[in-house]
Structure 1
Amino acid sequence: TYDLSITGEVSKPKAEVKQDTLKLTSKLSYDGDWVTMSVTTSDRDTYRMTARVNADSDNLSGKLILPNGDNSQFTAMRKEGPSNSSSEKGDGDSEVPKVMPLKFPNVGYGYTEKRKAEDMLFRNATVWTGEDEGVLENTDVLVRNGKISKIGKNLNAGSATVIDASGKHLTAGIIDEHSHIAGLAINEAGQNSSAEVKMTDVVDPSDMDLYRNLAGGVTTVQLLHGSANPIGGRSAILRLKWGESADQLIFENMPKFIKFALGENVKQSNWSSFNRFPQTRMGVEQVFVNYFQRAKEYQAMKDSGKPYRYDEEMEVLVEILRGERFISCHSYVQSEINMLMKVAEKFNFRVNTFTHILEGYKVADKMAEHGVGGSTFSDWWAYKYEVNDAIPYNAAIMASQGVTVAINSDDAEMSRRLNQEAGKTVKYGGMTEEEAWKMVTLNPAKLLHIDDRVGSIKEGKEADLVLWNAHPLSVYAKAEKTIIQGTTYFDLQEDKALREAIKKERSELVRMMLDEKDGGSKMQRPAQRKKERFNCDSL
């Protein structure tokens, strides 16, 4: 308990708080029947209180915020009447300003030190291999040097950390073929082709959605350019290594990709913009034909040995013609899907992936013949006109025709629960649970040409793993550990500790700001700096 003495005028009250004979630093204000007070102990812990004055009571009761940020209650009981005495707050000893510790990354939920790889043995897990072996019960998985070393029963751990996975499910990390998290910009929209720009130049390693996606079991994403133009920018395939630099997030020796787009966005139907070609779907087709013809002529000039002007944009398009760079194409309606496949066949190359592809079920046989994959939503539609014909059976129908199908997000929130999105294909289309799970692991790895390294649990592959507390397709499943190349970048128990540490740090920062204000420092109004969440049509 503490002794509280309130003196001064009603408009300018003063408070003195003592713990026994020790006087504590305090501050009190009164406005509109509300009392706000802060008390700082000798340990530099600050308690903040708010209470409403009740005319029918001599006591004060209200909300108390503890130094660790937790909420509680307080009661101040009146002991005696008003006094004319007053006390002045003495000057305290000067202190060296406290510097908060550096985090990796230096934002909320950053780690105090960078994550390190470790050898580990998962004991008695239900292992979803994603391979011909299927789902293995009561199985051990040994991870050494960032790779899956052995799969079997009663494996020798050696010096590896043993993790009891009894009753839990171990899967490959989720891969999102279509994402816009960790990007500082998405659309270079000023012209109809922006093949010269690279998403690797705008990677944001401190984006909180990296951490949130790890909590949902996501280990790899393709950061795509937006869909403002028919020929977009070059993609970045990222590993979600929370706490590392932008360069360290980029997938080693990543295959080359580029974003193409069709439909309403590229002809600017919904942007009220009428000053850029194309403005119609027939114009979109002509953009592709014109640019690929220019690329052929550019390469012919290079091959001739004659002097030529280096053109970054043309160099990228030539890579497509040679099969060295792959296209992920934003698409919706069947007419345009057919159109781009025919343009590709005219110039003797193949489209790699149609993303969104909500009318893919109408042309699945033609897609299989062309050799293009589909990366779609499970059941997201009705957000613009060209998605009117979407159905939840789309993924299953395309898969039934031999198309490699993935479920993607295009959304920072949906990507946190892609495991549940995959589960919907069991209901809509009768996919088996194993085939459904492949739609967010092995199949997107195939579409991104990284399935030799990630996407399934196989000896020799990289240890991108997730330990779930329940069936991974369940809405109740939580990722307990998310591991990339043998390094744990998310741990559910560590997350709980981080939350407590953040509450304490927030409270300490508030106390420091109050001290600054008491010391007469210049104040400024708080301003929220909230990062925009991007999607395909973000400008």
Structure 2
Amino acid sequence: FKDATVWTSEEEGILVHTDVLIKNGKIAKIGKNLWAAGATIVNATGKHLTAGIIDEHTHIAALSINESGQNSSAEVKMEDVVDPEHIGIYRNLAGGVTSAQLLHGSANPIGGQSAILKLKWGANADELIYKNSPKFIKFALGENVKQSNWNSYSRFPQTRMGVEQTFINYFQRAKEYDLKKKNGEEYRHDEELETLAEIINGERFISCHSYVQSEINMLMKVAEKFDFKINTFTHILEGYKVADKMAAHGVGASTFSDWWAYKYEVNDAIPYNAAIMQSQGITVAINSDDAEMSRRLNQEAAKTVKYGGMTELEAWKMVTINPAKLLHIDERVGSIKEGKDADLVLWSANPLSVYAKAEKTLIDGAVYFDLEKDKQQREAIKKEKALLINLMLQEKDKGSPTQEPKKKDQEQLHCDSL
């Protein structure tokens, strides 16, 4: 890339008239007037080059979201239900998203294990999953886990106090199970307790769906009782109320920019939430939790400039290096730095602008979205569609059998999809 405005998401900030050399899927060199034999040159004059956007919380590219039959599903794995043909992958690439955490839903206090993905459109499911991926699991609090949103009364817990006791019961069992293993005593292998023991031992990280300050405090206290830390509170729309306590615990936050009042427990949400938490020293990301919003996370990040007075670079970090830190992949992605994976986006304008378009989206140095190629493909599809319609009309005129059109709907899955 020649002569770009480079948003590094590092201490170097924004570099103007700068070249970035990619070699073997990595960022090989950053500087001015770079040259390499045989390199493909992309003229980036007047354009902006950034690290690929990382969505800390998504439900695209999944065949199912919730295993809701019991209050803990710690043994289930989202890696088993990755859908590499989900159109959301391509649409996210068109919005500059290159990585995402595919989370279990929020039907249970203790959900399933996450899948951290690189959005390599055209690859198979295994190729989408990060190699040597950090271990994560979804936890949840609030209305969903006590089932107040779908009038189910057949499963414990049904109250917020029951949610707390669920966590305590499971972690006590996991602690005792792990102690038997460490002491060399006989034990029966339990996949669920193995996963929870990994949390206690600091080997697996929690991303917890959360809204209300009382529950946020509760889970931090439960974690401290069993001597571990919550990694990330996601949604965390009352985080501004307890930001000092969150900072003391050492937990990160991944929130919405300006969603509020879509259900009762979100009534106290404010758009200044992200900036307030950041001011207390918390690592803050902006996530989507939505197949539509994930296509424009660049604009969601921009809202923190309006709400909270963030600088443009600090705002941009909320969808690049900050979520990378929360997902423990910041040594690989999230910024433009020599040696990191070449997950990059070339924008037509300032990436925080509503007018900016992702012209090229690269993962590991390979182009997975190209705006010009996309236009060509759209035109080809338009011609193919017209040809097929014409052929069908010709068959109809000949008296051939016909049938009603059949539309294929793909359900968009969310946190509470059952």
Of residues 402, 405, 408 in structure 2, which corresponds to 1:526?
405
Per the alignment, residue 41 of structure 2 pairs with: 162
Per the alignment, residue 501 of structure 1 pairs with: 380
SS of alignment partner, residue 161 of structure 1: coil
How much has 1:522 moved relative to structure 2? 5.0
Per the alignment, residue 57 of structure 1 pairs with: none
SS of alignment partner, residue 20 of structure 2: strand
Normalised to the residue count of structure 1, the TM-score between the two structures is: 0.76
Per the alignment, residue 277 of structure 2 pairs with: 398
Q: Partner amino acid for 1:479?
A: A
Q: Does 1:454 align with 2:333?
A: yes
How much has 1:519 moved relative to structure 2? 6.7
Of residues 169, 177, 188 in structure 2, which corresponds to 1:290?
169
Structure richer in helix, relative to its length: 2
Correspondences of 1:368-379 after superposition (within 5 Å): 368-379=247-258
Task: Supply the distance in 2 between the matched residues of 1:272 and 1:462 (Cα, whole angstroms).
Answer: 46
Correspondences of 1:49-88 after superposition (within 5 Å): none
Per the alignment, residue 233 of structure 1 pairs with: 112
Task: Supply the distance in 2 between the matched residues of 1:512 and 1:308 (Cα, whole angstroms).
Answer: 67
Structure richer in strand, relative to its length: 1
Task: Supply the distance in 2 between the matched residues of 1:517 and 1:184 (Cα, whole angstroms).
Answer: 37
How much has 1:297 moved relative to structure 2? 1.4
Number of matched pairs: 418
Task: Supply the distance in 1 between the matched residues of 2:265 and 2:286 (Cα, whole angstroms).
Answer: 19
Q: Which runs of structure 1 show a deviation greater than 6 angstroms over 4 or more consecutive aligned residues?
A: none
Task: Supply the distance in 2 between the matched residues of 1:332 and 1:221 (Cα, whole angstroms).
Answer: 21
Task: Supply the distance in 1 between the matched residues of 2:132 and 2:184 (Cα, whole angstroms).
Answer: 31
Task: Supply the distance in 2 between the matched residues of 1:352 and 1:506 (Cα, whole angstroms).
Answer: 49
Per the alignment, residue 314 of structure 2 pairs with: 435
Q: Does 1:472 align with 2:357?
A: no
Task: Supply the distance in 2 between the matched residues of 1:523 and 1:247 (Cα, whole angstroms).
Answer: 41
SS of alignment partner, residue 3 of structure 2: strand
Deviation per CA, 1:232-273, whole angstroms, max 9, x where unpaired?
000001111011111111111110000000000000111110
Per the alignment, residue 286 of structure 2 pairs with: 407
Correspondences of 1:20-59 after superposition (within 5 Å): none
How much has 1:157 moved relative to structure 2? 3.2
How much has 1:525 moved relative to structure 2? 2.4
Task: Supply the distance in 1 between the matched residues of 2:382 and 2:243 (Cα, whole angstroms).
Answer: 51
Larger Cα Rg: Structure 1 or Structure 2?
1
Task: Supply the distance in 2 between the matched residues of 1:382 and 1:502 (Cα, whole angstroms).
Answer: 41
Unaligned 5+ segments in structure 2 are: none
How much has 1:513 moved relative to structure 2? 3.8
Q: Partner amino acid for 1:472?
A: P
Q: Does 1:331 align with 2:205?
A: no
Correspondences of 1:6-155 after superposition (within 5 Å): 122-155=1-34
Task: Supply the distance in 2 between the matched residues of 1:185 and 1:311 (Cα, whole angstroms).
Answer: 23
Q: Partner amino acid for 2:372?
A: Q
Task: Supply the distance in 2 between the matched residues of 1:195 and 1:474 (Cα, whole angstroms).
Answer: 40
Q: Partner amino acid for 2:43?
A: D
Of residues 86, 91, 94 in structure 2, which corresponds to 1:215?
94
Task: Supply the distance in 1 between the matched residues of 2:73 and 2:400 (Cα, whole angstroms).
Answer: 49
How much has 1:465 moved relative to structure 2? 0.3
Q: Between the two structures, name the one with larger relative contact order (CA 8 Å, sep ≥ 6).
A: 2
Q: Partner amino acid for 2:111?
A: G
Q: Does 1:198 align with 2:77?
A: yes
Correspondences of 1:294-313 after superposition (within 5 Å): 294-313=173-192
How much has 1:516 moved relative to structure 2? 5.4
In structure 2, the CA distance between the partners of 1:134 and 1:526, relative to structure 1 (3 Å rule), is same
How much has 1:512 moved relative to structure 2? 4.3
Task: Supply the distance in 2 between the matched residues of 1:519 and 1:293 (Cα, whole angstroms).
Answer: 74
SS of alignment partner, residue 194 of structure 1: coil
SS of alignment partner, residue 178 of structure 1: strand
SS of alignment partner, residue 266 of structure 1: coil
Task: Supply the distance in 2 between the matched residues of 1:512 and 1:307 (Cα, whole angstroms).
Answer: 70
Moved more, 520-529 or 214-223: 520-529
Per the alignment, residue 261 of structure 2 pairs with: 382
Deviation per CA, 1:161-219, whole angstroms, max 9, x where unpaired?
00100000000000000000001100111110001111011111111111111010000
Q: Partner amino acid for 1:404?
A: T
Per the alignment, residue 366 of structure 2 pairs with: 487
Q: Does 1:536 align with 2:394?
A: no
In structure 2, the CA distance between the partners of 1:313 and 1:518, relative to structure 1 (3 Å rule), is farther
